[in-house]
């Protein structure tokens, strides 16, 4: 799992590459959840994530809850069809703003 975190204007962009599973989800949570701060904006770029297990979904739920508690705006970008389907079936899509591209995600967060 590669995690690249950068700031673009007032948005924290987190680029993930690799599978988010039981081995990597705790690492992602450890790096991303602390980025939530009052009024922050986080764009989670998942363009290079092909697989997400239930551990990955739990990590997203943790991120959502922490973001809700801190009034963090969060957008998920580049979900694969499989991940989007899984999130839809489980109801997770209702919790997140999703966009197809980073540019659209940035526009939504501004």
Mean pLDDT, residues 69-92 = 95
Model confidence over 25-48: pLDDT tens digits?
A: 999 999 999 999 999 999 999 999
The pLDDT, as a whole number, for residue 10 is: 94
3-state secondary structure of 3: strand
Q: What is the pLDDT of residue 78?
A: 97
Question: Percent of the chain at pLDDT above 90?
Answer: 99
**Structure-token pair, residue 14:** 């987190």
The domain segmentation of the chain, as residue ranges, is 2-109
- Determine the Cα–Cα distance for residues 6 and 21; give it in Å rounded to an integer: 23
Mean pLDDT of 69-80: 96
| Cα gap 88→52, rounded to integer Å | 13
The chain-wide mean pLDDT, for the chain, equals 95
**If you write DSSP's letter for every residue of 71-98 in order, what string do you get?**
T-EEEEE---HHHHHHHHHHTGGGGSEE
What number does CATH give the domain 2-109? 3.30.750.24
Residue that the structure tokens 């979900």 belong to: 79
Distance of CA 104 to the CA centre of its chain: 15
Looking at residues 94-110, what average pLDDT do you find? 95
The residue-averaged pLDDT of 44-56 equals: 96
Average pLDDT of the residues in 71-88: 96
Per-residue pLDDT at 64: 95
Q: Which of 100, 93, 59 is nearest to 79 (CA)?
A: 100
Q: Which tokens sit at 58?
A: 């739990």
């Amino acid at each position: 799992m590669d995690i690249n975190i950068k700031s673009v204007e007032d948005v924290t962009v987190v680029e993930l590459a690799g599978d988010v599973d039981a081995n990597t989800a705790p690492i992602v949570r450890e790096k991303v959840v602390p980025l939530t701060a009052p009024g922050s904006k986080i764009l989670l770029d998942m363009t290079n994530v092909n697989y997400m297990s239930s551990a990955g979904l739990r990590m997203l739920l943790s991120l959502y809850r922490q973001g809700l508690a801190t009034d963090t705006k969060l957008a998920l970008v580049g979900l694969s069809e499989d991940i989007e389907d899984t999130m839809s079936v489980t109801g997770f899509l209702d919790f997140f703003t999703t966009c197809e591209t980073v540019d659209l995600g940035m526009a939504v967060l501004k």
